[in-house]
Amino acid sequence: MLEGLRRSWRLLKKGKPGHRFQSQYEAQQKSRRPAWARPVWLAAGTVIMALGVVALPAPGPGFLVIGLGGALISRESRIAARFLDWMELRLRAAWAWLEDAWASAPWPVKVLAIIICAGTAVALGWLAAVYILSR
- In whole angstroms, give the CA distance from residue 19 to residue 95: 18
The better pLDDT of the pair 100, 60 is held by 100
Model pLDDT, residue 15: 82
109 and 58, same domain (yes or no): no
Say yes or no to pLDDT of 101 above 80: yes
Q: Are residues 84 and 110 in the same domain?
A: no
| In the chain, % of residues over pLDDT 70 | 96
In a domain, 100, yes or no: no
Enumerate the H helices of the chain as residue ranges: 2-14, 20-30, 37-55, 62-74, 78-104, 107-133
User: What is the pLDDT at residue 129?
Assistant: 85
Q: Within this chain, do residues 44 and 70 fall inside the same structural domain, yes or no?
A: yes
Q: Is the pLDDT of residue 58 over 90?
A: no
Q: Are residues 10 and 65 in the same domain?
A: yes
Query: Does the pLDDT at position 128 exceed 90?
Result: no
Q: What domain count does the chain have?
A: 2
User: What one-character DSSP code corresponds to residue 106?
Assistant: -
On whether both 8 and 68 belong to a single domain, the answer is yes
For residues 68-85, one letter each, b for 16 or more C-beta atoms within 10 angstroms of the residue's C-beta and e for the rest, the string is bbbbbbbbbbeebbeebb
Give the pLDDT score at 111: 96
For residues 26 and 12, the answer to whether their CB atoms sit within 8 Å is no
**68 found inside a domain:** yes
Same domain, 125 and 64: no
27 is a domain residue: yes
7 plus 52 within the same structural domain = yes
Same domain assignment for residues 16 and 73? yes
On whether both 74 and 38 belong to a single domain, the answer is yes
**Full domain range(s) for residue 9:** 2-92
Counting every residue, how long is the chain? 135
Residue 122 lies in a domain: yes
Residue 94 pLDDT class (50, 70, 90 cuts): very high
Residue 97 lies in a domain: no
**73 shares its domain with 117:** no
9 pLDDT higher than 90:
no
Let me know whether 73 and 26 are in one domain: yes
pTM (2 decimals)? 0.71
Q: What share of the chain is helix, strand, coil (3-state, %, to 5)?
A: 80, 0, 20
CA distance 34 to 129: 44
70, 130: one domain: no
Tens of pLDDT, residues 13-57: 788 888 888 988 888 888 878 888 888 889 999 999 999 888 887
